[in-house]
Every structure is written in structure tokens, then in C-alpha cells.
Chain A
């Protein structure tokens, strides 16, 4: 089955850019998503990209997809303390199945 991997932690200073990386194994994945989870809260959809695109920008968020390498990244420009959370990458494969990565804990320091 699909395997989605992310690094566990990322620490950045306020105002810097954050880049969270994700790799997946199923080349037939159609959509790739980024979700944000704040402490004690549910999952908030941030953005997604269709597999035939290589970039999508949405305000401070930029998603890059390298389909050949099965690599997805989320760049957050001008990172703020309110961006501190766990970020999950998820790949939509066959059979309506969404497979999540392990989550990356982003810590924003002053």
C-alpha cells in the first residue's frame, strides 16, 4: 500500500520561511493534501494539489510537487507564531483512500 513519510520536527524563527517535505510511494496518487492540526484541535485543510500540476500558490503557502521523485513540499512564507502546529501530508490513492504522513511538528521561535 501507499507509504507517506515526513520529517518529524522543524524549527524556524518568526519571519523566516518554513519548508516542510513529504515523500510518497504510490505514483498513481491523484491528489496530494496538506492539513494543519493545532494542539487539541481537529484537522484543518490548508491546500491541495492535483497530480498533473507542479506548483500551487495560495497567499503565504506554496506547494511544490515533483511527481518523478514523488516528493511534495509546503513552503510557508513569513512564518508566524500562529503557524506552530503539526502539518500532515496526505496522498489520495485508489479506492477512495487517503494515506497520511507521520506529521511534521513546526515550532516557530521568536
Chain B
């Protein structure tokens, strides 16, 4: 059973397009996160949601919009994709904001 899953695993698209990445967790956690890992493997948090409410919103361009339809899902929509958006995006979840975070397998986004 996959605890935190993401779709798609790979995403190749043209600059200017709009795309979404989906994340689902079946751990019963109430907090979900999006992280970005750049080409140098540096990981940085983008967003955190607790029970569908935005808790953390780092300095991310407003082209990125997270959407949480329920506490088991946190999707990431990206408008007007740019070359610099190419990265691996990881979803994670935890029970509460202070508990251990479990990560999904990542979505590798390449913008051409």
C-alpha cells in the first residue's frame, strides 16, 4: 500500500503551459506539504496545509496555487510554466505539524 502517492511521476511540458500535480495520502494525516528540489538537490518547503487550511506559504510565485479538496489530497497547480520551474516536486504528510513527515516518490517536472 502506497502511503503518499503523487501523479504524474514525470511531466514534460512547454513554457507557458498550465499543469497540475496531484498528491494523495492514505495515512489519515491532517497536514500535507509541497517541497521543491532543485537541480543541486536542495530541498525547500513551498506550502503546508492543515485540515484544508493553508499554514505555510513560503515566498513562492503566485503562479503556484495549492488546492486541498479534503485532508487526504493536496494538489499543486502551476500557471504559465517557466524554465526555472523545472525541478522535482515532493509531497509529504504528517499528523499535526510537529510530527514526522512522510514523503511521496516525487514528480519530475521538465519545462522546455
Q: How far is the CB of B50 from chain A (nearest CB, A)?
A: 7
Q: Is the interface of A mostly helix, strand, loop or mixed?
A: strand
> Cβ of B41: which chain A residues have Cβ within 8 Å of it?
37, 86, 102-103
Beta-carbon contact of B56 and A31 below 8 Å: no
Q: Which residue from A37, A48, A96 sits with its C-beta under 8 Å from B100?
A: A48
Beta-carbon contact of B102 and A102 below 8 Å: no
Beta-carbon contact of A45 and B102 below 8 Å: yes
Report the nearest B residue to A96, measured CB to CB.
B97
> Cβ of B33: which chain A residues have Cβ within 8 Å of it?
98
Chain A positions 15-72 with a Cβ under 8 Å from a chain B Cβ: 30-31, 33, 35, 37, 41-45, 48
Q: State in angstroms the CA–CA spacing of A99 and B106 once bound together.
A: 18
> Cβ of A30: which chain B residues have Cβ within 8 Å of it?
98
Q: Which residue from B42, B56, B103 sits with its C-beta under 8 Å from A96?
A: B56
Which of under 10, 10 to 19, 20 to 34, or 35 or more describes the interface residues of B? Answer: 20 to 34
Beta-carbon contact of A42 and B44 below 8 Å: no
Q: A95-B56, A100-B43, A100-B44 are in contact. Are A45 and B100 (CB under 8 A)?
A: yes
Which of under 10, 10 to 19, 20 to 34, or 35 or more describes the interface residues of A? Answer: 20 to 34
Beta-carbon contact of A43 and B56 below 8 Å: no
**Interface residue? B34 (CB, 8 A):** no
> Cβ of B104: which chain A residues have Cβ within 8 Å of it?
42
Q: A31-B100, A33-B100 are in contact. Are A96 and B55 (CB under 8 A)?
A: yes
> Cβ of B100: which chain A residues have Cβ within 8 Å of it?
31, 33, 45, 48
Q: State in angstroms the CA–CA spacing of A45 and B104 once bound together.
A: 11
Beta-carbon contact of A42 and B42 below 8 Å: no
Q: A88-B43, A102-B41, A103-B41 are in contact. Are A97 and B56 (CB under 8 A)?
A: yes
List the interface of chain B (C-beta within 8 A of A). 31, 33, 40-45, 48, 50, 55-56, 90, 92, 97-98, 100-106
Supply 15 A–B pairs (Cβ within 8 Å), ascending by A. A31-B98, A31-B100, A41-B105, A42-B103, A42-B105, A43-B103, A88-B43, A95-B56, A96-B97, A97-B45, A97-B48, A98-B33, A100-B42, A103-B41, A103-B42
